[in-house]
Every structure is written in C-alpha cells, then in structure tokens.
Structure 1
Amino acid sequence: MAALRRTLGSLAGSCLADRRLWDRLHAQPRLGSVPTFDWFFGYEEIQGLLLPLLQEAQAACPLRVLDVGCGTSSLCTGLFTKCPHPVDVLGVDFSPVAVAHMNSLLEGGQGQPPLRPAHPASCLRFKQADAQNLQPVAPSSSFQLVLDKGTWDAVARGGLPGAYQLLSECLRVLGPRGTLIQFSDEDPDVRLPCLEQGSPGSTVTVQELGPLRGLTYFAYLVQSSH
C-alpha cells in the first residue's frame, strides 16, 4: 500500500474501506483532459500480461471479465477499446460517484467522444456493487477472468476478514479454470500466505511487474480448481 498512501497524501490516515472516502476522491476535479485515474498503473502497463491470458481463454466468446473495485481506472476502458479479442467487461464499485463517472464516460460525457470497442463483439458495463457481496450482479461461475487492482489492499485496511470475504466472492464468480488476478505492491511474503489460506485447492502464483512509475508491483494469479 506504499504507493497508494503516498497518492492519498493527507487522507492516508482515513479508512480505505470507507465508501465516503472514495466518493469524495472520485468527485474531485481531474487535471487536464484525462478522464480516468489509476492507482498503481493503468491498462497500458499490464496489457502484456492480460492479452496472452485472454487469448488462451478464447473458448468463451466473448470472454467475460469482472473488475472489482474498478473506481475510475482505465483498466475496463482499455480492455474495451484496445483489446483485439472479444470481451464482455463488467466494472463494479461501491462508490456511486465512480460508477456514474464511468457510465458518463462510456456514453460520451466528460467532454469525450463515446467509447468504441476494439472488437465488434466486445461490450462494457459499469454497476454499483459491494465487492464483498457480488450476488446482485454476478452469478456463480459466470466470469473467466476477475481483476482486482488494489481492492484487496483497500478492503484489508478495514480488517482481514473483509479481505477474505472479497477473495471468497471473487472465487465464487470464477468459471471452470478461471483466473483471479490481484495487482498490488504488497510483498509476496505477506500476500501469498493469505491467498493460499483463502483459496484452498487453487493454484496461486506471482509475477513481478515493473518497476512501473519507479515502483515494483506484483500480479498474484489465483487459478480456480473447479
């Protein structure tokens, strides 16, 4: 969480699991004309990891991708507008401010043209939902790829039980041989034991990313065993 704490500055002492904090952050004006904001990094920096995974999973067409705690990141929009493979992307966040912003961006608000898919079969949606209870928006075994960029980190600030509930929900919505990817700057010595404990029977691996923006990050891959 070092990078996130530096970005939050004076808000670092706040509870990152508190929706009101994120509502305030997402409501802040953005500098220049950039319509999205990324913690850690954006789609461009990790497309080299994502695209091979998407290509391998083309048995499902389009491939269903869930981004939990999407915020106003470029991860969903990058997959939709730049991925050459057909993808059905759902971004969920518990902040209605973030979801409203991304839906406006999708439809051509924020002074931007409407987003256009790189593949004609691709689609993109944003919904408000608590990542610790995805039942209203995500049936079991309904996604081939689940992405978590910093969401575990934020939820864990409110206590590890919440983080384990998040992990449980992410694994529940994964289809057969689906993959959950957690992106974080947390050291593998800390994160790997948590993931192994919370996902018994699954295969857990880690890849080092970066340095990106001067920092080293990690992609934690949890492959469903069902």
Structure 2
Amino acid sequence: MAALRGTLLLTRPKSALAGSLASSCLADRCLWDRLHAQPRVGNGLTFDWFFGYEEVQELLLPLLQEAPAASPPRVLDVGCGTSNLCTGLYTQSPYPVDVLGVDFSPVAVAHMNSLLQGGQGQTPLYPRHPDSHLRFMQADAQNLRPVAASGSFQLLLDKGTWDAVARGGLPGAYQLLSECLRVLSPNGTLIQFSDEDPDVRLPCLEQRSGRTVAVQELGPFRGITYFAYLVKGYY
C-alpha cells in the first residue's frame, strides 16, 4: 500500500500492525478507532503517518500570509486523526489562523480535544498568535454539511485521507473531493498530501475537479518522497 508506508510509532510489533492494515479496509472507522486507542511511545502525544507540521510549514505559511487580513483565514484538516498539522498551525504560525480538525473517529477527536485542553496532566495548548483558534469535531469527510458551509474555508488539508478512503473504492474518494471543493472558498487552496505518483493522482484530480492541479515534491522523509497536490478554488 503505497500511501501508508511511513513508520508507525506505536507499541504493537510492526509485523502485526502491517498485517492488520493489509487485511483491513482503511475506510473503516473501527480500524482507526483501534489504532488511535493504541498506547503511544514515550511522550508522543500526536502521531503523523507521513510527516508533521514542521516539514510542510514553508508551504503552508505563505498561503496564510496571503489571506485577507480582516479576519483569520479558516483552515480545515479533513481526516485529521492525531496528526500535529492542526496543533502545529495553532501553536507555531506567526499569522492568525482559525483551524478546524475533523475526523470520523471519536477516539481521535477525543484525544485531540484532551490535548488541546490540557487533559491527562498535560499543559494546555496556546496559540502563537493571539487571534488564532483551534477546534476538533467528529465528522465524516464525505459529508461535511453538518460542520462546514459552502465556500467557508480558505485552506483545506488532506494528508492521506484520500488514500485511506480510496481503499474502500474510488467513488468514496471522489465524494471526499467533491465535499472539499464545496467548502473551499473561491480563492482558497485544497492540498492533498500523498506518496501516490503524479501520473496516477493528477488525472483523477484534474478530471474530477475540472481544474488545473499543481504538484510540489516533498522530502524524501525517512527515505520516501511525497507530493503536495494543490487544487485552487474558482475565482
């Protein structure tokens, strides 16, 4: 499975974990509930499949800097899991940002809300910019209507969510893309992070979105090259 080759820092032996992923549908919420419930190694409060916020901040920060200054740009991380993309933007961005992380796993959402609020004896998270905000909500990325109005986000982040949903069938991945484009503002940007080759991903994105898609190579991280697929909203 190309899209999930990163090192998984959980306490279960790698061989057992790899077997469970290989035999399971990655679009199954129960699988992710079980994975997010696994004890974390050491003080690892977040976990990232591919890479974390630090590796992509030089890509994200210019997009935030270019956003209108009247109000913080709204950022939606679809399928946020327990990644540090949201928390990194909140605690490290020098620009104001209003971040919403959504995931269909209640286990992941509960963990991130606990981390945000300083649960389990941890220090609460504080924003670098005083006007920044961060929330986590349970939601299905294929149906964002309960949490996101059309055209309401300037930046959408999808780090491996397309890859996981596509394991349940491409129609689900296309529905995910449709919802992301629906909630994307006219001048916004959707970024899909994946290690899937552009020869495979680009035709799907361009055909289904009807837009030109830019590609930026990332890494390699831990020996793997990734790609950022940037889809712009319509003006």
1:11 and 2:26 correspond: no
1:162 and 2:161 correspond: no
| Shift, 1:198, TM fit | 1.1
| Shift, 1:60, TM fit | 5.2
The counterpart of 1:217, out of the listed 202, 208, 226, is 226
Percentage identity across paired residues of the two chains: 80
The counterpart of 1:87, out of the listed 94, 97, 106, is 97
Q: For 1:1-226, list aligned pairs within 5 A.
A: 1-2=1-2, 4-5=4-5, 7=8, 8-12=17-21, 13-59=23-69, 61-200=71-210, 202-226=211-235
- Read off the aligned partner of 1:188 and give its amino acid letter: P
- Read off the aligned partner of 1:207 and give its amino acid letter: Q
Distance 1:31 1:11 in 2: 19
In structure 1, runs of 5+ residues without a counterpart are none
Which range moves more in the overlay, 59-68 or 29-38? Answer: 59-68
Which range moves more in the overlay, 40-49 or 4-13? Answer: 4-13
The aligned length equals 225
Q: Indicate conservation of the 8 Å contact 2:3/2:163, yes or no.
A: no
RMSD, aligned CA:
1.2
Q: Indicate conservation of the 8 Å contact 1:35/1:110, yes or no.
A: no
- Read off the aligned partner of 1:105 and give its amino acid letter: L
Distance 2:26 2:73 in 1: 31
| Shift, 1:2, TM fit | 2.5
Q: Secondary structure at the match of 2:216?
A: strand
Q: Indicate conservation of the 8 Å contact 1:203/1:225, yes or no.
A: no
| Shift, 1:199, TM fit | 0.5
| Shift, 1:143, TM fit | 0.2
TM score, norm. by length of structure 2: 0.93
Q: 1:48 to 1:110 in 2, by over 3 A?
A: farther
Q: Indicate conservation of the 8 Å contact 1:203/1:224, yes or no.
A: no
